Structure 1
Amino acid sequence: MKKGLFTLMAAAAFALVAAATQAAPVHADETWAPVATLGVSLTADQKTGTLNTLENAANVTNPSELTVNGNTLVKYLNPAGSTFTANSGVWSSALVQKTSSGGINVTIVNYNGTNNITTITADQYRNAALTAGVTNANIYITSAVRIDGSGALAGVYAAFAQNGQTLNSAQITAAQDEVNTLSGITSANKDKDGYSDKQLNNAVAGMKSQMASQSNNGSQTLSQNQIGNIVDSQLKDNQLAGVINNNQRTQIINLLVKIQNSGALKSSDFKAQAQKLMSSIQDSAKNLFSKLKGLDTQENRNLLQKIWDGIVSFFSQIVAWVQGLFN
């Protein structure tokens, strides 16, 4: 009898342990030692200069090193349509510090006093990292030669994989589509009144947060029409509704559909990281966003309404005067 009771108790204990294990799966450490991802094409002097530049910016010494080569680009970037080969050169480099909080922060560091990253902005890197599944990381990027900066982004993904946190390939592909889309829109609107890359990236981060909310963290699929409404709302909030053309709006909608299909919204951290990204972008350009918010006050809306009422009244009087000539 005692033996049977002991067996029953042991089985119950085993079941409890198994249930607890399933309820709280083991995760990789939240943080890991800094990693410097260095382009394979750097000369010995450029490699030393790049490493020193990144270490000084991040205030770290002796990070582990990871070489980014053509195969790295092929693995992470070609699925989104890039045409890199195993022989492709890589110069842009990154230093990745995984943190336990603070969101995603990216600093593009000048190399010998010059910003050599020609295409991807810091906020575009941040939005791409968010889509790819990166959480809570300080990322420093530089290049010894003028280059678009794709190699550094591939290096960030490789750094996470090296530390046991392999990112979802579908999300990485969506992230690269995002870089291409946002950098293209920024390039097309360069020097255009009422446009800035910060406005666009803040709007896109807001779209992601809103999508996560409306889809219950990816448990429901949003229709293209619902996503379009979210896009319009965020463009309006960032004073971009009259700046982004219909083609660019469609590009953004298609991008967000890809992000939804990649599974990015299902991460429990996605919404919080998107909101932190928005707050950080706004904090980095307080004057800009204060001005934008000031444009959308009730007082200004009332002023615009008064102007419109005046225009309508003016033309109504002209119409009435013309009609009076024939009466």
Structure 2
Amino acid sequence: MKKWLFALAAAATTLVGMAGVQQASVHAADTWTPVATLGVSLTPAQKSGTLTTLENAASVSDVTQLTVNGSTLVKYLNPAGSSFTPNSGVWSSALVQKTSSGGINVQIVDYNGVNNITTITADQYRNAALTAGVSNANIYITSAVKIDGSGALAGVYAAFAQNGETLNSSQITAAQDEVNTLSGITQANKGQDGYSDKQLNNAVAGMKSQMASQSNSGTQTLSQNQIGNIVDSQLKQNNLTTVINNNQRTQIINLLVKIQNSGALKSSDFKAQANKLASSIQASAKGLFSKLKGLDTPENRNFLQRLWDSIVNFFETLGDWIQSLFS
């Protein structure tokens, strides 16, 4: 029954549609200029088309250009277990704008009318950026060819380094672990009733906020049991308790332990950025989250209990009747 209600929620969300990514007003610091990170494997025509696509989406021009190559992937992504080489191809690209407020916003932009980012979702990019230490930025992602989107993520980190804000390497490694974990869970639950990538990323953003609160901004170390309780609380709030299996729950707990160990929680802005991320995810899918919150009411719990009691009584009566046939 619960899965049936989730199916109704998903259908309602599809009918309502997803809202666009919330945009923050751009107030770049004097030392921070917008950067377009372009994959080294793009042909000249693709490079020009990619730059135009990103600049149009961001409503900017004459941005700083930075080439992302295999060595960039090795530097930022391999410490988390990826196996890129200096000769690896890169197609996915990004444009990064620093803002004074508004949290982390990511828009995956169609290239010639097609979304070519096959694996990493906008909300996964946002959660990874948060873990890596990014705050208050508008990020635009695109690709001229079908690709998972790792090159664009490495480009985001390189864009900050280009502007003199080198992000913590331990946090970047934890962020890449996060992308691998969340994208894997989303792929495993693709098409399952009661699951969406937005629910998972909203839950993870909430977990980060709770961890920052309970650890007093990273000054106290949370035990694995405490983190497990936080995970369970957020999975319940996002109606994922019956969808996320024990193995996936363990993956999330292990990921959050890595995030804690990376030092990400110690940032004075981490909790606020996590809360902004969660609020933005919910705002982008109001139909979904309103429906999910509506499911967790005393009335619905009572209805489900009555339905379950009726099913149990039916089978008990059926069993008694069958037994009477042989008595």
Q: TM-score, normalised by structure 2?
A: 0.87
1:301 is displaced (CA, Å) by 1.7
Contact 1:39/1:68 (<8 A) preserved: yes
Instruction: Please say if 1:260 is aligned against 2:224.
Output: no
Taking the aligned partners of 1:91 and 1:103, their CA distance within structure 2 comes to: 27
CA separation in 2, counterparts of 1:289 and 1:206? 14
Task: Report the alpha carbon displacement of residue 73 of structure 1 after superposing the two structures with TM.
Answer: 0.5
AA at the equivalent of 1:80:
A
Corresponding residue number in structure 2 for 1:208 = 208
Matched, 1:233 2:233: yes
Q: CA RMSD in A?
A: 2.2
The aligned counterpart of 1:291 is 291
Q: Distance in 1 between matches of 2:33 and 2:312?
A: 66
Based on CA coordinates, which of the two structures has the bigger radius of gyration? 1
Confirm or deny that 1:78 pairs with 2:78.
yes
Name stretches of at least 5 consecutive residues in structure 2 with no aligned partner. Answer: 1-27
User: Which residue does 1:304 correspond to in 2?
Assistant: 304
The C-alpha deviation readout for 1:238-271, integer Å capped at 9, x for no partner, is: 1110001111111000000000000000001110
Structure 1's unaligned 5+ residue stretches are 1-27
User: Is residue 117 of structure 1 aligned with residue 117 of structure 2?
Assistant: yes
Letter in 2 for 1:180: N
- Alignment of 1:47 with 2:47, yes or no, is yes
* Residues 1:192 and 2:192 aligned together: yes
Deviations 1:136-182 (A, max 9, x none): 00000000111110000000000101111110000000000000000
Aligned pair count? 300
Aligned pair in 2 of structure 1 residues 87, 319: CA closer, same or farther (>3 Å)? Answer: closer
Q: CA deviation at 1:224?
A: 0.6
Q: Match of 1:279, SS?
A: helix
Deviation at 1:320, TM superposition (A): 9.3
Look up the match of 1:6: none
User: CA separation in 2, counterparts of 1:321 and 1:92?
Assistant: 65
Q: CA deviation at 1:298?
A: 1.7
Query: Residue 33 of structure 1: CA displacement?
Result: 1.5
1:308 Cα deviation from its structure 2 partner: 4.0
Structure 2 residue identity aligned to 1:219: T
Q: Which has the bigger relative contact order, CA under 8 A and spacing at least 6?
A: 2
8 Å Cα contact 1:127/1:205 also seen in 2: yes
1:133 and 1:171 in contact (8 A); partners too: yes
SS of corresponding position for 1:139 = strand
CA apart distance, 1:302 = 2.2
- Deviation of 1:309 (Å): 4.5
C-alpha contact 1:93 1:142 (8 A) present in aligned 2: yes
Paired residue for 2:134?
134
Structure 1 CA distance for aligned equivalents of residues 174 and 115 of structure 2: 26
**Alpha-carbon distance in 2 for matches of 1:30, 1:227:** 40
Tell me if structure 2 keeps the 8 A contact 1:30–1:100.
Answer: no
Letter paired with 1:178? E
Question: What's the CA shift for 1:43?
Answer: 0.8
Which residue identity is paired with 2:190? K
Q: Contact 1:30 / 1:99 at 8 angstroms: preserved in 2?
A: no
- Counterparts of 2:80 and 2:286 in 1: how far apart (Å)? 34
Whole-angstrom distance in 1 between the partners of 2:188 and 2:312: 35
Q: Distance in 2 between matches of 1:69 and 1:190?
A: 31
Residue in 1 that maps onto 2:19: none
Asked if 2 retains the 8 angstrom alpha-carbon contact of 1:38 and 1:91, the reply is yes
Residues 31 and 100, structure 1, Cα contact 8 Å, conserved in 2: no
Q: 1:273 to 1:316 in 2, by over 3 A?
A: same
1:12 matched residue in structure 2: none
